[in-house]
Structure 1
């Protein structure tokens, strides 16, 4: 057989052919622009192929345009969400509704408010004031489907549709099964309003929602801290709600509280100066409310004050949901809140009964009048204090006149006390003392009643100043915020109940109240009858109060609103001044003495109450004498 030899010429040919092929491939490769165009064409082809994917749900077939590029994810969405699978194909985006006071950011996910910014207010450290931000709130409807799925709207994506109705901005958020079958949240924001219309309704979902299982609304909020003192802010932060016919109630401001109520018209997560309120035209049949304190530690830089929750079952009408609601997200301004015919002004705690009456119909109008032409809120407080003291000065005068009368009678009452000593004469001693006072036309109660009449004013203003948002972040002298404490010195340590700072207005108020109590003690000692055997020593009790009241003021008001301490400081100064003027320039003790002597000479008609009292004392004395004889 002939032996094959290596063909060198063939090798050279193969090498040349390979070189030519490599050169041709290199010179004919596509440019980057051509590659991008090819990739775009392929993507568009995939989208076209998937546009007509049909979602099967029982006997109903709905053709929906979806933006998925992965048929596996579509199948997974169908398995998890059933008829609501369209939700899984939507993007997570946001829509902004805003006017000149409020900015709301609504998320496609859950169709709920993701951010709520109050544009005309800032935090105590001048940061934007958000009521809702960074997932501190959630609004969710929990329901079961007819094919035994459990869904939460906060996990599903809504389709937004923005429009305008005149000057109103309207946002419709729909959780769709089809174009005619959906759950809708409809928001309407109006110019200059903190109140937002909110409609919750469904259409064509009666065949998809299981009406035999509860449909529950869950609304949760962790309240941001906006003020300087988190402890003081917590004392003003609580859940308010209206049930039945304008019956206002609230949860405790303590660490934890909960309740379950019926026929609830609105629920307010009320903070010190701002509230988030959910109002419904059709009352929730039941509502479970909880409130818990997240932090009260002044030493820790905390974000939240309290955590609020609401759970309320929603009722179906003809198999559909239909609730007309409102959101109020704004300041606790009494003048703003009273404009709405839903009684939400009750979240401004002006006190109950006579205290609230005085605030609503006396102090708020006076404050608003002064505010109309005076820009310095410290001066407004001082002028308001002067007005109150002038109004109350007749009561101070009445009290001082009674004190002077009792002072004149005191020697005669001491004579009776010395003439009838011992427990066995206690009844007779009291009877003669009362007879003397009756002849002279003097009553110990005439000095107490004016003091009691001033108490409603004291407690009304105790509620008025801390609740007044107009004082928030208003400066006066060294106080940079009249709604908070006026620190003049920061302590390097924390004192329980007092804090880690020193406020000056409470110190001044404590000094003023000490001197006021000292003068009042002297006045009361004139009115006090001689201490009788077996009776408590009122003088010692008054001395104890004289020292205790300023100390309590100093400790507890160190964290309170500086406007309140300023009021008490000025009020006590004015009262001391009025008392000195009455004592030295108005009251003449010699004339009072002469008048009493004239009264004693005149026949005194005994009143029915005095007559009955004397008869009762006489009977008691006779009974006492009988018991002595038996012994």
Structure 2
């Protein structure tokens, strides 16, 4: 009888451990470092080359209209006014092109020659009218009937002393109408004098809305601009009323123009330059002009314009027609210009919304102007995707960063840090401290805990997979030793072992990679959050800014020059 040798049974595998072993922790650290090195190398080699800073303002690409002579009233039909083109002319005092000058003062509009349309509005005395609300101070001028300054009371600049300024105070007026008259004069309303609806120098907005109107006589017609202010609201109403518009407008209609970029308020000029831009929503798409890769550019949009906005990192001014479908299009233009007071460039931005010639003898175009912080709930109240101008970070992560920001980060910062409405707290019987809010630093910690909880299944899966691989190490080594000279057979046996044990060889790495978009979304959102701006916690003076402990002598792409 043939004897059989006893079969030696393999010892039972040790129970899987959820806690990582030291060697697993070492592998995780090595993998993280390698991923970081690859990402920084990729961004360094494939990022666009940095633009050289300008020490002089580039040539102005905006056409300047040379006022025609008195004989222009009888200009022939093929004159430039009929074709929509205007000859360019050097502004008085403009430096020759071979000797460019740098100035802190923006180019001022040139008044047209007086004629039967403009003569009555070209003379007058400029008077400033101050509008005071609890949220802002706005200064208007009867010259141009335009906004000169818009100062936010609840927000300070980086020095935490001076209030934030929304408009470019060097532009000679922020809002204006531009149009061509039937007498072929090109008019910028910043050069006209308007009469105001009030003799007071200060208008206070307290319990109810107030309206400030500016009126100018243009030939047989009247142009009236009315601004409506609301208490406790950053929204302004703008009504442009035209009486007998055909007496001072041609078939081209008019352009409502925003002049100037957003003034610096955060102290870091390079950062300001990166975040400042001009945006518009047209046909459901958001168009942008940020000058990130060029010194000057212009973009045109055709058809409806839902809104047009200029923004920096934390603040915006957005102009919205009440009837977007009536707009004929828009133009976004800008250039980087040097400034005497700074070596860094400044973005000179101009946005135009083109409006048609009214058919009626009396017509009103109504707009909304939002001038304030980039607050999600303030902007979303308009229902026009205004918050879409915010950059959520790298485009390939936006599918995840957008919903996390909208449905997790922003609500937590708004309602936990800023506090719930008192009526909500009272009606639900919640603790009173929820109305006052909790420190923003605690909110950020809670956000980190929630994110860690969300990615815990991925972390656990990664550790379990690494634990399984560790249990297979002896068998894998046996296969390597047995088929050392047969690579194909060795690979075949390895795959067979993986199938039999249900182990995925990349199961330890893939879950870790899936966590990175979530962590990056938090990293991208915090520096742009208006709620965290200038909020301190423990030793950190500003939760939205890096806590710099070491200034580097070089700059790391997409990171900075600090540790």
The TM-score, its normalising length taken from structure 1, stands at 0.61
1:407 matched to 2:446? The reply is: no
- Alpha-carbon distance in structure 2 between the residues aligned to 1:294 and 1:413: 65
The one of 161, 171, 183 aligned to 2:197: 161
Paired residue for 1:366, among 396, 412, 421?
A: 412
Give the direction of change, closer, same or farther, for the CA distance of 1:145–1:285 in structure 2 (3 Å limit): closer
Instruction: Please give the alpha-carbon distance, in whole angstroms, between the structure 2 residues aligned to 1:305 and 1:196.
Output: 27
Change over 3 Å in CA distance of 1:449–1:253 after alignment to 2: farther
Confirm or deny that 1:495 pairs with 2:553.
Answer: yes
Supply the distance in 2 between the matched residues of 1:206 and 1:214 (Cα, whole angstroms): 9
Q: Which residue of structure 1 aligns with residue 169 of structure 2?
A: 134
Determine which of 336, 346, 349 is the counterpart of 2:378.
336
Structure 2 CA distance for partners of 1:368 and 1:80, relative to 1, 3 Å: closer
Q: Do 1:237 and 1:270's aligned partners in 2 also have CA atoms closer than 8 Å?
A: yes
- Choose from 231, 245, 249 the match for 1:191: 231
Q: 1:172 to 1:304 in 2, by over 3 A?
A: farther
2:288 is equivalent to residue 242 of structure 1:
no
| C-alpha separation in 2, matches of 1:482 and 1:165 | 33
Structure-1 separation of matches of 2:273 and 2:113: 46
* Structure 1 residue corresponding to 2:402, chosen from 344, 350, 356: 356
Q: Which has the higher helix share?
A: 1
1:144 to 167, 180, 183: 180
Checking the alignment, whether the CA contact within 8 Å between 2:123 and 2:192 is kept in structure 1 is no
Deviation at 1:421, TM superposition (A): 4.3
**2:380 pairs with 1:346:** no
Q: What are the superposed Cα offsets for residues 288-313 of structure 1, whole Å, 9 maximum, x if unpaired?
A: 2123444799xx75797422112343
8 Å contact 1:228–1:484 — kept in the other structure?
no
Map 1:66-77; keep pairs closer than 5 Å: none
Matching residue within 117, 121, 135 for 2:155: 121
* 1:557 Cα offset (Å): 5.1
Q: Work out the CA distance in 2 between the residues paired with 1:280 and 1:304.
A: 32
Correspondent of 1:286 among 329, 336, 350: 329
**Post-superposition offset of 1:426:** 4.4
3-state SS in 2 of match to 1:326: strand
2-structure distance, mates of 1:167, 1:454: 50
Q: 1:131 to 1:171 in 2, by over 3 A?
A: same
1:315 equivalenced with 2:356 (yes/no): yes
Instruction: Name the SS for the 1:279 alignment partner.
Output: strand
SS of the residue corresponding to residue 158 of structure 2 reads coil
List per-residue Cα deviations over 1:397-456 (Å, max 9, x = no partner): 22111101101112322333343346xx54443332111011112112432332133123
1:187 positional shift: 0.6
The separation in 2 between residues aligned to 1:446 and 1:477, in whole angstroms, is: 40
Encode CA deviations 1:89-139: one digit per residue, 9 max, x unaligned.
432112222321122111111111011111111111121221125324533
Q: 1:261 to 1:208 in 2, by over 3 A?
A: closer
Distance 1:89 1:289, change over 3 A: closer
CA distance in 2 between counterparts of 1:79 and 1:439 reads 90
CA distance in 2 between partners of 1:209 and 1:470 (Å) = 45
> Is residue 2:258 matched to residue 1:219?
yes
- Is the radius of gyration larger for structure 1 or structure 2? 1
Find the counterpart in structure 1 of residue 214 from structure 2.
173
1:82 aligns with 2:124: no
CA distance in 2, matches of 1:474, 1:296: 31
Give the match for residue 207 of structure 1.
Answer: 247
Secondary structure of the 2:316 match is strand
Cα pair 1:230 1:296 within 8 Å, conserved? no
Distance in 2 (CA, whole Å) between partners of 1:80 and 1:329 is 35
Structure number with greater CO (CA < 8 Å, separation at least 6) is: 2
CA distance in 2, matches of 1:317, 1:436: 79
Determine helix, strand or coil for the equivalent of 1:82: coil
The 3-state SS of whatever aligns with 1:444 is coil
Q: Which runs of 5+ in 2 are unaligned?
A: 1-72, 75-110, 420-433
Partner of 1:275: 316
Q: Per-residue CA shift, 1:356-405, capped at 9, x if unaligned? A: 01121122233345323454322322232123223322321221111011
CA contact (8 A) 1:236 1:253 kept: no
Aligned-partner Cα distance in 1 for 2:487–2:131: 79
Offset of residue 469 of structure 1: 0.8
Whole-angstrom CA distance in 1 between matches of 2:487 and 2:364: 75
SS at match of 2:193: coil
SS in 2 for 1:379: helix
Q: Provide, for residues 466-514 of structure 1, a one-character-per-residue CA deviation record: whole Å limited to 9, x for no partner.
A: 221111111223332222233456x6xx83316xxxxxxxxxxxxxxxx
> Residue 379 in 1 paired to residue 379 in 2?
no
2:368 aligns with 326
Task: Report what 1:579 is aligned to.
Answer: none
Per-residue CA shift, 1:517-548, capped at 9, x if unaligned?
xxxxxxxxxxxxxxxxxxxxxxxxxxxxxxxx
How far is 1:165 from its partner? 12
Change (3 A) 1:393 1:406: same
Aligned counterparts of 1:326 and 1:483: Cα–Cα separation in 2: 30
Note if 1:471 corresponds to 2:529: no
Change (3 A) 1:292 1:79: closer
- SS of 2:248's equivalent? coil
CA distance in 2 between partners of 1:138 and 1:484 (Å): 30
* C-alpha contact 2:145 2:225 (8 A) present in aligned 1: yes
Cα gap change, 1:392 to 1:376, in 2 (>3 Å):
same
Find the counterpart in structure 2 of residue 595 from structure 1: none
In structure 2, relative to structure 1, the CA distance for the partners of 1:209 and 1:366 (3 Å cut) is closer
- Tell me if the contact between 2:308 and 2:318 (Cα under 8 Å) persists in the aligned partners: yes
May I ask how many residue pairs the two structures share in their alignment? 421
Asked if the contact 1:146/1:208 (under 8 Å) is kept, the reply is: yes
Query: In structure 2, what is the equivalent of residue 521 of structure 1?
Result: none
Compared with structure 1, are the counterparts of its residues 264 and 369 closer, same or farther at alpha carbon in structure 2 (3 Å cutoff)? Answer: closer
What is the root-mean-square deviation in Å for CA atoms of aligned residues?
3.2
1:89/1:336 Cα in 2 relative to 1: closer, same or farther (>3 Å)? same
**Aligned equivalent of 1:556, options 549, 556, 559:** 559
